[in-house]
Structure 1
Amino acid sequence: MEYIPYAGSGPYCYANSLAMMLGNAAPSLAVIEFATSSPFGMQLVGGNLAFFDPYGWDPSKGLDACLKAAGWTSTLVVGRDADGALAQLRQALRKGPVFVGPVDMGRLRYYPDSGSLSGADHYLVVLGIFDDWVELHDPHGFPHATLPLGDFMEAWKAVAIAYGEPYMMRTDFRRVEEVSEEDVIRRSLDNARRWLSMDGAHDMPPGSVGNGRAAEQLAMLIQTKYDPELRGHLVHFAVRVGARRVADAATCLSRVGYKDAACIMAAQARLIGSLQYSLVEGDIPLATETLRRLAGTYEQLRIALGDR
């Protein structure tokens, strides 16, 4: 059966924000996400927080690699404190929009459900500051959103975000090399293999596991402690973004001739995507069966990525 790539909206916040900053020369969202290595693995952080992305990975670790593969540079700026960060942001805005994040979604009060989003990381593009209001493009469906400056600064402080530092932004995006999308994908393969292998040192909390073990332990966790917090994280974010990342990666791999790896990632995407129903409905036997089927695919993918 022909694999049909997904098109649609969803929680692709940093990829969409980066695409806005790069403009007409930006790679497709699928290629941006591929180049960050986000689709290549699974992690259960601290034994209880699941993500369908590599062990030890977070967006801040993938953005520089993505820009390099695509032939771009940028300047990462980290504010010393609120006053210093705001001054730096105002200065940067004189040149144009600014890529900002991570920010805490729970502080973005234009979200109708912001009170339930505390600690969820997010990325956006700041367009300007006018009379103590911030105007921004939020890629999760809020173009030209506005927010009181004080609320924005609290979101940007990101105290509840488990990675990065407060007041992070990227400026001065500059294209230094023209790279085709296929070459961006090829340039990103070594990083994909490295992240999937889980090799190297990772600053992870006790109880963290990756790939097949993460899938198996999540299955056990769902059987014993499927509480509203775990359910909410999985059905509102982790499954949706995970399935899309992996589906996009399957398409990218197919474009550069990695047919076996593409088939495995297409199978992963179908498994992850199918979790949405069972987790929403609380069909624990079906969800655990799906996760155990998913567990074996990570080693298969590691082997396939070594071959065409």
Structure 2
Amino acid sequence: MRHLAYVGNGPYCYANAFAMLLGERAPSTAVIEVATGGPFGMQLVAGTLVFFDAYGWNPELGFDRALDAIGWTSTVHRGGDAGDALARLATAASDGPVWVGPLEMGHLRHHPEMTGPIGADHFVVVLDVNDERVLIHDPHGYPYAEVPVGDFMAAWRAETVSYGDPYTMRTGFTKVAEVPDADAIRSVVPAAIAWLGMREDADLPPGSLGNGEAAERVADLVEAGAGNGLREHLMYFAIRVGARRLSDTADCLLLAGYPGAAAVAATQARLVGSLQHPVVTGDFPAAAAALRALAPTYDQLRAALS
């Protein structure tokens, strides 16, 4: 079956937020996403939480790499107390939009059914700040959302997000080089190979697994009923973003001159995407079979890139 590039909705919050800040000179969100290195692998964190992204990777590890690959820089601000952070944000927003995150999505109550922390990271663009509310473009589908200051600051503290620092934001986005998309992707291939090799310096808790071992273990967990929140995590988030980024990876690798690797990534995208219906409907044997078919593709992708 021929691969077709996907265009549509998906949980691409940080890539979409970057694209908003970079404006008309931004590359596609596909290039931004792939340049972070995130799509190159799979991880099962602490034996329970699955992500279709590189073993030991988190978004914070990929942002500077992605910006460098596409020829941009930015200034990062993080930490301090809440009052200083809010003042810093208000000052920055008075000069223009500000990229902000990670945030704890559960504190952002303009998202339906959010009433408290759920351990989910999120990124937004802040447009304006006053004493009562923070005005944001939320790439999860909410342009010009108004968030009460108290809720925003609780989210921005990010206490229940597993990576990053409180009150992180980026300003001063500056284009420093004209980089064709194909060159940007070629520049991150060595890092992609390293991620697929499951770097030994990965900072993960005991019980974590990567790539083929992760896929096999998740297959076992799904076959056993996908309990303890696994089913919900898969069907609401992990499958959606995983299939999307792998589809984008196939497109980007083909553009960069890696047709064999692109074919493997397209296969991965189809396998991850095929999980959605059986996970939602409870056909766990079918989902487990797709995960087991996925397991050997990580070594295949590394070999194709090498």
Q: Residue 123 of structure 1 aligns to which amino acid in structure 2?
A: F
> What pairs with 1:1-308 in structure 2 (closer than 5 Å)?
1-115=1-115, 118-227=118-227, 229-306=229-306
Change (3 A) 1:281 1:117: farther
Once residues 289 and 35 of structure 1 are traced to their aligned partners in structure 2, the CA distance between those partners, rounded to angstroms, is 30
**Per-residue CA distance 1:154-175 (angstroms, 9 max, x = gap):** 0101111011111111111111
Q: Please give the alpha-carbon distance, in whole angstroms, between the structure 2 residues aligned to 1:121 and 1:94.
A: 25
Indicate if the aligned counterparts of 2:225 and 2:284 stay in contact, CA closer than 8 A.
no
Question: What is the SS of the residue equivalent to 1:234?
Answer: helix
| Range moving further from structure 2, 225-234 or 11-20 | 225-234
- Letter of the 1:247 counterpart: S
- In the aligned structure 2, how far is the partner of 1:221 from the partner of 1:305? 30
Q: CA deviation at 1:286?
A: 0.5
Percent identity between matched residues is 55
- The amino acid of 1:237's aligned partner reads F
Hey, what's the Cα distance between the residues in 1 that align with 2:205 and 2:117?
22
Letter in 2 for 1:101: G
2-structure distance, mates of 1:3, 1:277? 20
- 1:225 offset after TM fit, Å? 4.9
Q: 4+ runs of 1 displaced by more than 6 Å?
A: none
Query: CA offsets, 1:104-159, max 9 Å, x none?
Result: 11000101121376211000000001342110000010000001101100010111
Partner SS state of residue 202, structure 1: coil
Shift of 1:94: 2.3
Instruction: State how far apart, in whole Å, the 2-side matches of 1:170 and 1:162 are.
Output: 19
Matched residue SS, 2:201 = coil
> How far apart, CA to CA, are the structure 2 residues paired with 1:90 and 1:260?
48
Deviation of the 1:222 alpha carbon: 1.6
Question: What is the rounded CA distance, in whole Å, between the counterparts of 1:226 and 1:116 in structure 2?
Answer: 24
SS of 1:93 mapped into structure 2: helix
* Cα separation, 1, equivalents of 2:80 and 2:202: 26
Cα distance between partner residues in 2 of 1:61 and 1:113: 30
- Tell me which amino acid in the other structure corresponds to 1:75: T
Per-residue deviation, 1:198? 1.1
Q: In 1, are the aligned partners of 2:74 and 2:170 still within 8 Å (CA)?
A: yes
Output one character per residue of 1:257-297: Cα deviation in whole Å (capped at 9) or x when no partner. 21111111100000000000111011111011110000011
Letter in 2 for 1:5: A
Q: Residues 29-87 of structure 1, C-alpha deviation per residue, up to 9 Å, x if partnerless? A: 11001100111000000000000000010110010000001111111111211112112
TM-score (norm 2): 0.98
CA separation of 1:117/1:281 partners in 2, compared to 1, >3 Å: closer, same or farther?
farther
- Paired with 1:217 and 1:141, the residues of 2 have a C-alpha distance of 33
The one-letter amino acid paired with 2:234 is L
Aligned-residue Cα RMSD (Å) equals 1.1
> Judging changes above 3 Å, is the alpha-carbon distance between structure 1 residues 19 and 216 closer, same or farther for their aligned structure 2 residues?
same
Q: Tell me if the contact between 2:90 and 2:130 (Cα under 8 Å) persists in the aligned partners.
A: no
| Matched pairs, number | 306
Counterpart contact for 1:127–1:137, Cα < 8 Å? yes
- Separation (CA, whole Å) in 2 of partners of 1:117 and 1:27: 33
Q: Are the equivalent residues in 2 in contact too, given 1:79–1:88 (CA < 8 A)?
A: no
Q: d(CA) in 2 for partners of 1:190 and 1:72?
A: 20
| In 1, Cα distance between equivalents of 2:97 and 2:305 | 38
| Secondary structure of 1:34 counterpart | helix
Distance 2:96 2:151 in 1: 22
Unaligned runs of 5+ in 2: none
* DSSP 3-state at the match of 1:235: helix
